[in-house]
Amino acid sequence: MKRRFPRVNKSRFPRSIFWIVLCILLATAGVNMALVLGMQAMGWAPIVMTHVMVFYWIGVTALLTWLIRARMKVVYEAPMQMISEATKEVAQGDFTVQLQPLHEGDKADYLDVMIGDLNDMIRELGSIETLKSDFISNVSHEIKTPIAVIQNYSSLLQAPDLSEEDRREYARAVSEASDRLNSMITNILRLSRLENQQIKRNNVEFDLSGQIAECLLGFEPVWEEKNIEIEPDIADEIRIVSDRELLSIVWNNLLSNAFKFTEPGGTVEVSLRADGDEAVVTVGDTGCGMPPETVEHIFDKFYQGDTSRAAQGNGLGLALVKRILDITGGRIEVQSTPGEGSAFIVRLKLKDSKLN
């Protein structure tokens, strides 16, 4: 979380306060001596002198107490009450609260730092709350869609005069909707476990070249059916230290998207090369491509830039890819041009990285 203020140890009651109070006390003591000497010179009775001095010190004490109380109210009580009211509003669900720091720049002290941190925390909580609400809304919507398909076609399958051709078509629709629902639930569970750190990395050294080639071959029926040309450029014996199982999810999701959004007769490029201390994997296609505003949100959960193809996915695959790469220490970037295609570039540390 980014801080608005640097860490400071500046006291809200500097040492100068001590010297000010000491000087006041010395001054009042001097006035005390002057009063005593003056009253003696005027020949006042001892009882009168005693009462005068008692009332004098009562006045001095009351004045000092009032000054200290006023200073404490300004320095501590008012800011603390402001912070207390803000936290109360946040506890009631208002994440729009933002406090104004008491000082800016070099004049900021530790209370200003605390206010800045509180503002950052409230903004972060608001962001998390928004994401949670959107997530629940999107999950509900995405689950309802395949369930509705299953229900509708299941009802149609019960018709007594249904032809064999229609029966097969409806059964296929039910099967596809069931697969989509199963895929979405599986990805939701995976994301949940990854985000809650319930999946521990099982780092091993393995041949990344062989893994990518194996994942690519798994899509052979898809590219043959769509007559897609494959352009592989996979360097041999590129070895890395990472979680083999998690990375296989990454390659399968990237390849699945590439084949999904590439029209029949198009091209999918898969390359792997070593670049310094990194292995660079590129999965490119000649599909529809994406505008910049879509690229900006492409790794958000449930985000689907091409709504015309929404039925082909649930917007969780790339969010899962991003989270896995965050956990395994990898990076991913996107290059895309509308109407020309997209390329996803993944960078991973080579095998000399330390096992964690």
DSSP string, 199-236: S---EEEEEHHHHHHHHHHTTHHHHHHTTPEEEEEE-S
Q: How confident is the model at residue 210 (pLDDT cuts 50, 70, 90)?
A: very high
Whether the CB-CB separation of 34 and 49 falls below 8 Å is answered with: no
The 10s digit of each residue's pLDDT in 44-94 is 998 988 998 999 899 988 988 888 888 888 877 888 888 888 888 888 888
Q: Give the chain's mean pLDDT.
A: 82
For residue 186, is pLDDT > 70? Answer: yes
The 10s digit of each residue's pLDDT in 295-305 is 888 887 655 55
Within 8 A by CB and 6+ apart from 97, the residues are 86, 89, 90, 122
Q: How confident is the model at residue 354 (pLDDT cuts 50, 70, 90)?
A: very low
The 10s digit of each residue's pLDDT in 89-116 is 888 888 888 888 877 766 677 777 888 8
DSSP letter, residue 309: G
Whether the CB-CB separation of 184 and 301 falls below 8 Å is answered with: no
What value does the mean pLDDT take over residues 168-192? 80
166-186 burial, b at 16+ Cβ within 10 Å, e below that, comes to eeeebeebbeebeebbebbee
Q: CA 188 to CA 190: how far, in whole Å? A: 5
Q: CA 247 to CA 202: how far, in whole Å? A: 11
Q: Which domains does the chain have, with CATH numbers?
A: 15-125 (no CATH), 203-349 (3.30.565.10)
DSSP letter, residue 284: E
What number of residues does the chain have?
Answer: 356
Q: How confident is the model at residue 307 (pLDDT cuts 50, 70, 90)?
A: very low
Q: How confident is the model at residue 235 (pLDDT cuts 50, 70, 90)?
A: very high
Compare 13 and 43 and report the one with higher pLDDT: 43
Of 343, 346, 348, 349, the closest CA to residue 231 belongs to: 343
For residue 337, is pLDDT > 50? Answer: yes
